[in-house]
Amino acid sequence: MVRAYTRREYIRKIPGSRIVQYDMGNLSAEFPISVSLAVKNHAQIKHNALEAARIASNRFMQRKAGRMGYHLKIRVYPHHIVRENPMATGAGADRVQDGMRKAFGKAVSSVALVKPGQKILTVETNKKNFQDSKEALRRAAMKFPVPCRIVVDKGEELIK
């Protein structure tokens, strides 16, 4: 695992995070069932992927459970800043480019560093919408560059 590059006070021109909100749905209600999406391997998940997963799962849950029938939460934040050494292309690029000399790179994106078993998204809902919450998390998992599994955190006895 790479060491986190997060000290924003030393880094100039960091691209902003695309994630609009981290909590969606009914924030005040207590739901009996909680289902989470956990990663299987170490990974770097870009802020674009987190936002795409949020949109996909939130839209599905809003359509199936209504605005007040669930609570969706993103549980990771993209702190780590990714650098890229842009290579010049085209005619005469070899005279302009330094190659790997002084190749520190410029900040291009931010990612969340996740460990195996870490939970990324959590959906809280009631028994009626349990299958819909699993499907919403499955759709969100397709947006991530790492295999994921769906874990029931709370309310296993209600499902059986």
Q: What is the pLDDT of residue 9?
A: 87
Q: What is the pLDDT of residue 2?
A: 64
Q: What is the pLDDT of residue 47?
A: 96
Q: What is the pLDDT of residue 1?
A: 60
DSSP letter assigned to residue 5: -
Among residues 121, 111, 110, 109, which one has the least CA distance to residue 39? 121
Name residues whose C-beta falls within 8 Å of residue 97's C-beta, 6 or more positions apart in sequence: 87, 88
Using an 8 Å Cβ cutoff, are 135 and 35 in contact? no
Q: What is the pLDDT of residue 103?
A: 86
Among residues 137, 159, 149, which one has the least CA distance to residue 54? 137
Alpha helices in the chain (DSSP H): 47-65, 93-96, 130-141, 156-159
User: Structure pTM?
Assistant: 0.89
Listed as ranges, residues in the chain with pLDDT below 70 are 1-2
CA angle 68, 69, 75 (to 5 degrees): 95
CA angle 116, 24, 67 (to 5 degrees): 130
Domains of the chain by range and CATH? Answer: 10-155 (3.90.1170.10)
User: Distance of CA 21 to CAs 50, 66, 114, Å?
Assistant: 11, 18, 19
Among residues 138, 134, 140, which one has the least CA distance to residue 159? 134
Q: Determine the Cα–Cα distance for residues 74 and 156; give it in Å rounded to an integer.
A: 21
pLDDT in tens, 9-40: 888 888 888 999 999 999 999 999 999 999 99
